[in-house]
Structure 1
Amino acid sequence: MRTLNLGILAHIDAGKTSLSEQLLYTTGAIQAAGSVDQGNTHTDTLAQERQRGITIKSSVASFAIEDLSVNLIDTPGHPDFIAEVDRVLDVLDGIILVVSAVEGVQAQTRILMRAIQRQGLPCLIFVNKIDRRGAQHDSLLRQIAHKLSPSAIAIGEPRDIGTPGAGYHAYDADHIAFRARLTETLAENNDRILAAYLGQSAPPSYQRLRAELARQTRRGQAHPVLFGSAATGAGLPGLLAAIAELLPAAAGDADGPPSGAVFKIERGRGGEKIAYARLFTGSLRLRERLLLGGRQDKIAAIKVFDRGQARVAASVQAGQIALLHGLEAARIGDVFGPARPRTARAFSPPTLETRVSARHPADARRLYAALSQLAEQDPLINLRQDDGLQEVALSLYGEVQKEVIQETLASDYGIAAEFRETTTLCVERPSGVGFALMEAPNPFVATIGLRLEPAPAGSGVEFRLAMHEGMLPPAYFKAVEDGVRAALRNGLYGWEVTDCRVTMTHSIRRRHWGPLTTAAEHRGLAPLVLAEALRLADSHVCEPIQRFRLEVPADALSAMLSALASLQAQPEPPQQQAGGYLLTGYIRAAKLQQLQGLLPPLTGGEGLLETMFDRYEAVQGPPPKRPRPASGPQPRPVTAASR
């Protein structure tokens, strides 16, 4: 049986989860479709999801279309949980992007579509809510072509749109206007069809056009548009037919070595770790050993998805998604085997930070343990403990995410946690070059020399060797690198140091002071040497800058430009468009919340703001400081006298 791993993406409230329910119900995977309003959907299982009516964690279900087994992955639509979408993109074969027929193309929809196109993923666009008053058709198709994809092509049309009895009619070979539009769209990427379109050859048959539509859809070059209603089930048969015809089944050598990726971690009722993994090639069997997170663990149990349920299995095959038990070292993003999934991050990292402490000091250890488990499920919260301040720092996308974490700590772990005000998350970059050398004897029986220097923006941290590798066992070099990376989490001003190159220049295995030095001695000394190198290199604090795209009515242009100036934004010249203006430019992430608050009153609720992380830029004025851990090396900014 063929397998298709299908993701459903959408702006919040476009009806994504309701559509998932209808797909499961229409194919017989469940007996009745759940309701978001009633809190009884099959894909939203967390208490917070049902209370808030939003998806917080990605979930997997399955259904079958004849000989095609579809693993359906429902993803969050709220931007605070965009990291869940990011992780899922690496394991998908195709996507349904849901657009509301009433609200039209919204800001998050555009962000999602850009990510889909960057990854080159096949995508169907499903226009939901055609039964609602105010549903659009022709104007919405123009929005989709303008804002999402010029290669979007409607393969059917709604009937009685905007009424409770709305339905969907799929175009066929007899629809002359559709054949003409289809020929024009496909001609962009097919020279033979282009020749026919220009009258230089005979028109292609309808069967050939449909085959070419499938080929271009699978390549991410064409984006078929369908209409329907998740509430009534209208258009669902047409959508299921398009999934089977136009999206690609999973490919991969079933007889090759096992390779795959972990995209989700959760804990079972007994606290055991469960890893969700997509297998790209080969197979895995029960009790087989798998290397993840630097250690080999035995697979204690396997479950695969089959017609709505996760069922116990003896093995998992290429193309399938499995729940693997017993892999205690597994982490989100781990890959195994020779094949590798896409690794480029589709969305920007979190740019906000908060600090958490237990309301009752006796719960401090339990708080850290609970947050560590939550960090397994969402590594981008980037858990950082400060023993001296009895606080834990978290990275965030927004306030809703913070509220959900607080509620989870209270409901699932019985911990009352207090959160500080959310602040902007900065980074540090080296200003110059610093070199430090510490020779044994010192606090550790080891000798290490490190040179720290700037690297290109966005390059992260690179650790290199400028010495003969035979001087030390490989484990010693790895220990130094681990110590260096740990030390870079807190720079001169308390922020993480990035965009730098650290070169290990010296090391000697000393025998003169008793036992031969160990890898642990090198790991312990490395942060001290790095702290001194960083002090000599100095650093500057950089804050996140967002790229914004703002659509405003014509009568709001002047007020909006004034507001952007007051927020120290960097707008580009306005571009006139139908109904108003398009403003683009850059704004500090710290000012973004103020801009979002000003938008509704200044535009009468008609402004549309879309933002995306662009870069880090040096802070103007006194650099903001973040409290540093009380333990560990304490680098200090270099003074004029010591330069």
Structure 2
Amino acid sequence: MAKSSGFDLALIRNLGVIAHIDAGKTTTTEHLLYYAGAKHKLGGVDEGTTETDYDPEEQQRGITIYSACIPFQWRGYTVNLIDTPGHVDFTAEVERSLRVLDGAVVVFDAQKGVEAQSETVWRQANKYAVPRMVFVNKMDVVGANYAQTLQSIYARLTPDFASHGRPAPIIIPIGSGSPKDSATPFSGIIDLIEWKAMFFDQADYGKTITVEAIPADQEAVAQKYRDQLFDILTQHDEKDLITTAVLEGQTPDPEKVRQLVREQTLALKIYPVLCGSGREHIGIQPLLDAVTYYLPAPTDRPPVTGVNPKTQKEEKRKPDPKEPFCGLVFKAAWHPNGHRFFIRVYSGILKPNARAYNPGRDSRENIAKLFHVHADPNRGLEEVETAPAGDIVAVIGLKDSVTGDTLCETQHPILLETISFAEAVVSQSIEPDSGADKDKLTGALAILQLEDPTFKVKADKDTGQTLMSGMGTLHLEVKKHRLERDFRLKVRVGKPRVSFRETLRGPRSVEIEVKRKIGEREMYAWLRVEFTNMKSLTPVTVSNFLSSDALPAVLSHAADAALKDALQTGEFGFPMMNVQAKIMAARFDPQVSTEDAFARAAVEAYREATRDNIVLLEPIMSLRVSTPDEFLGNIIGDLSSRGGMIEHTESLAGGTSEVGAKVPLEKLFDYADRVRSLSQGRAASSMEPFSYEPAPDETVRRIRGE
């Protein structure tokens, strides 16, 4: 029996949990599900029994690789929760999740504070203007420091409060660390709004909460934090919800404080900060309450903006079931019984047996049935009757649509902004053990590309090898294991190598005339094309400024297609980037101008534009190393020898320092092992793609084979 998905949009929370790897994100998610009754037993990351880490690779490595979506109920609210990866190699999962979520909880390790991937996910949330809360986790570990974590958030993530908002603690810890290493171990939390202490019973995994008066030895620090909270809130209290009460020395009504916190959270003026410990089962229920109090419902988010493909005019869609339907395909997942496509419904209602229009591909899709999905795709699907605005559902068997595509009503077309992903930086050759499996491997690689927009496959023109490219060596290793486990393929892979890119050295305007006779057949075409450099990390684009009077559509399309195809690779055979080609003018002869003639003209324009005008680009990584101070010199010296540019060194607590550097990826394939040997195993490093920069001359000569 299909289940109705009709519900009050104000009671929906589309929530993401994001963090640096090992911040305790998945453990926190497990507790959210456990306390909400969505599961009856707590799973453990180390045991591989968590709800969201259902994939064998995730269970083996103890990390999240695939974003997982689980709906659950909490105090009358429906929460669509997405647990996302923390490892930089799987940043696409975070990017596409944040694109469709309404709010996020950012988890920080109380010992380590802001880490490299923390900054990445925070920037991604800024990009999509996602309201968020902060959960300082692991308050029970050695070296946990709430105040220091707050300070690192101030310094690294929100230095400009006017434009980026500021952290606003609403929950603070009682103690820190464990009984073994601390005189005042972490034992509970203080709610600054309700002005109460809360303690969690370890015997029933924190389900039983005891609310008490704030301990006398904690009152002074709690009052300090509360005064700071009210000071932050009253700066933007236009409705005078609490300002007068605060100025008169009265205690503000907690309900009005929560209202003000909610308004300022939705306006991105503040980020409520809470704390706790997933491992010790402390502070999770208040986090769930805060999700319902402070994070937005779909109706709190601004309308989505798109372009009408017929009129090319901007249009908006409100999160209202009465609006025409539109949604975004934000994830595709392979399944032996049919690929599953996840859709965020932004407006209107999506119903079973509907025909949805994909304006980006000018195609129509049959939507047979709608489902809500558990984290584990092997646990089955829950069929629903409708998917109104604000819902996230899965459908099976779309024919043409991929991640980032818009679906809408045919009579009310709208094309939403697609999802942009980072460029792949590492490649490996791959081939089947048996020649008989060549076609099977090709099909499996196509499926993996459908699932993951940052995973690319192409044939090397020089060697004939099949190359797979991704965000890092772990990313490619996971794909190899997927091929072996899910597709029963035995494969061989080559050594990892850098995925170079190419771009123009400078802009160039080209006029090309094709005028020749082949046998008895004449051909003629003339084009003027302007090639310009775009901002960094943008794909190649081709724009056609010709009117139908200047050139018949069939000839114009031929020039477009040929130019796009030619611009896929440059002089060295690597993908081109940061280039825009504009077809500005054309001349034709109705008697002898053909599609082939204009295709040739476009290709010759490309050759002329790139002749002695190509720059080879190499990926540069942003690297962070945390090390005991005694090994700092070793680390900096090694980075310098790799061509790294040291950007900062920062003293941390406990006699440790952090080094930030920009280093060519080609010099970092052995770095994880090297940094351990330089520090007796005590330093840790993390990296993420930063940019593409011109490669040094010796690299260019090596690529040329000189």
Coarse TM-score class (shorter-chain normalised): 0.7 to 0.9
User: Which deviates further from its counterpart, 255-264 or 228-237?
Assistant: 228-237
Aligned: 1:217 with 2:269: no
Q: Which amino acid is 1:353 matched to?
A: S
Correspondence for 1:283: 349
Alignment-derived partner of residue 392 in structure 1: 466
Matched, 1:273 2:349: no
Residue 295 in structure 1 maps to residue 363 in structure 2: yes
Aligned to 1:156: 171
Deviates more, 1:52-61 or 1:616-625: 616-625
Map 1:58-457 to 2 at 5 A.
58-132=67-141, 135-149=144-158, 151-159=166-174, 161-163=176-178, 166-174=187-195, 176-187=223-234, 189-190=236-237, 205-207=252-254, 208-251=256-299, 252-270=319-337, 272-292=338-358, 293-304=361-372, 310-337=381-408, 345=420, 348-386=422-460, 389-431=463-505, 433=508, 434-439=510-515, 447=525, 449=527, 451=529, 453-457=531-535
Counterpart selection for 1:37 from 43, 46, 49: 46
Give me the whole-angstrom Cα distance separating, in 2, the residues matched to 1:113 and 1:444.
59
Task: For 1:269 and 1:600, locate their aligned partners in 2 and report how far apart those are by CA, in whole Å.
Answer: 42
Cα distance in structure 2, aligned partners of 1:233 and 1:576: 32
Give me the whole-angstrom Cα distance separating, in 1, the residues matched to 2:439 and 2:269: 52
- Does the CA-based 8 Å contact 2:112-2:149 persist in structure 1? no
- Aligned residue for 2:611? 536
Structure-2 separation of matches of 1:366 and 1:300: 28
Within 1, Cα distance between the matches of 2:396 and 2:589? 42
Task: Report the alpha carbon displacement of residue 367 of structure 1 after superposing the two structures with TM.
Answer: 1.4
Q: 1:319 to 1:547 in 2, by over 3 A?
A: same
* Cα distance in 2, alignment partners of residues 93 and 550 from structure 1: 33
Offset from partner CA, 1:337-375 (integer Å, 9 cap, x none): 467767675x74332222222222232222121111100
The amino acid of 1:127's aligned partner reads V
Q: Which amino acid aligns with 1:616?
A: Y
Tell me, in whole angstroms, the C-alpha distance in 2 between the residues paired with 1:542 and 1:444: 41
SS in 1 for 2:105: strand
CA distance in 1, matches of 2:470, 2:563: 25
Which amino acid in structure 1 is aligned with residue 588 of structure 2? I
Cα pair 2:320 2:389 within 8 Å, conserved: yes
TM-score, normalization: structure 2? 0.78
**276-285 or 94-103, larger mean C-alpha shift:** 94-103
Give the direction of change, closer, same or farther, for the CA distance of 1:96–1:422 in structure 2 (3 Å limit). Answer: same
Superposed CA RMSD: 3.7
Aligned to 2:638: 563
Q: Which piece of structure 1 moves more, 402-411 or 618-627? A: 618-627
CA deviation map 1:469-489 (0-9, x unaligned): 334454553443233222222
Q: Is the 8 A contact 1:90 1:343 kept in 2?
A: no
Residue type at the aligned position of 1:384:
K
Q: 1:405: Cα distance to partner?
A: 0.9
- Secondary structure of the residue aligned to 1:32 is coil
1:613 deviates by: 3.7
Residues 364 and 86 (structure 1), Cα distance of their counterparts in 2 relative to 1, 3 Å cut: same
Alignment partners' CA distance in 1, 2:455 and 2:523: 36
**Aligned-pair identity (%):** 26
CA distance in 2, matches of 1:402, 1:302: 32
Structure 1 CA distance for aligned equivalents of residues 85 and 602 of structure 2 = 39
Does the CA-based 8 Å contact 1:149-1:223 persist in structure 2? Answer: no
CA distance in 2: counterparts of 1:298 and 1:475, whole angstroms: 30
Shift of 1:445: 6.9
Q: What amino acid is aligned across from residue 362 of structure 2 in structure 1?
A: G
| SS of alignment partner, residue 380 of structure 1 | coil
Equivalent-residue separation in structure 2 for 1:485 and 1:152 (angstroms): 46
> Is the contact made by 1:273 and 1:325 (CA closer than 8 Å) also made in structure 2?
yes
Q: Would the aligned equivalents of 1:569 and 1:588 in 2 still touch at CA under 8 Å?
A: yes
Q: 1:249 Cα deviation (Å)? A: 0.7
Q: Confirm whether residue 498 of structure 1 aligns to residue 498 of structure 2.
A: no
Residue among 586, 591, 603 paired with 2:667: 591
In structure 1, the residue corresponding to 2:298 is in which secondary structure?
A: coil
Query: Aligned partners of 1:356, 1:316: CA distance in 2, in Å?
Result: 41
The 2-side partners of 1:393 and 1:353 are apart by: 6
Residue 64 of structure 2 corresponds to 55
Secondary structure of 2:454's counterpart equals helix
Q: Distance in 2 between matches of 1:567 and 1:193?
A: 57
Q: Gapped runs of 5+ residues in structure 2?
A: 1-7, 160-165, 180-185, 196-221, 300-318
Question: SS where residue 48 of structure 2 aligns?
Answer: coil
Q: 1:475 to 1:333 in 2, by over 3 A?
A: farther
Distance in structure 1 (CA, Å) of the matches to 2:62 and 2:652: 35
Gaps of 5+ in 1: 628-635, 638-643
1:187, distance to aligned residue in structure 2 (A): 4.4
Distance 1:184 1:92 in 2: 30
Distance 1:257 1:420 in 2: 50
How far is 1:124 from its partner? 1.7
Q: Which amino acid aligns with 1:492?
A: E
Distance 2:461 2:641 in 1: 40
User: C-alpha offsets along residues 296-334 of structure 1, whole Å, 9 cap, x if unaligned?
Assistant: 121122113599984212321100001122321111111
- Deviation of 1:601 after TM superposition, in Å, equals 4.6
| Distance verdict in 2 for CA 1:509–1:84, change over 3 Å | farther
Deviation digits for residues 538-580 of structure 1 (CA, Å, limit 9, x no counterpart): 3121222334555655554544443333222233575677756
Q: How many residues align?
A: 622
Paired position in structure 1 for 2:315: none
Distance 2:144 2:138 in 1: 7
Q: Is the 8 A contact 1:63 1:307 kept in 2?
A: no
Q: For residue 542 of structure 2, what is the aligned residue in structure 1?
A: 463
Letter in 1 for 2:391: Q
Distance in 1 between the 2:144 and 2:656 partners? 22
Shift of 1:6: 0.5
* CA distance in 2 between partners of 1:467 and 1:556 (Å): 62
What CA distance in whole angstroms lies between the structure 2 residues aligned with 1:367 and 1:307?
A: 27
Residue 610 of structure 1, CA deviation: 5.6
In 2, Cα distance between the equivalents of 1:444 and 1:238? Answer: 78
- 1:508 maps to 588
Counterpart of 2:18, as a letter, is L
Residue type of the alignment partner of 2:527: G
One-letter code aligned to 2:192: Y
State the one-letter code of the partner of 1:230.
Answer: G
Give a deviation string over 1:146-201, Cα, whole Å, max 9, x none.
44447323322344654599444433444644431211232455578899599977
CA distance in 2 between partners of 1:394 and 1:188 (Å): 52
Cα shift at 1:212: 1.7
Partners of 2:374 and 2:698 lie apart in 1 by 58
Q: Supply the distance in 1 between the matched residues of 2:289 and 2:271 (Cα, whole angstroms).
A: 15
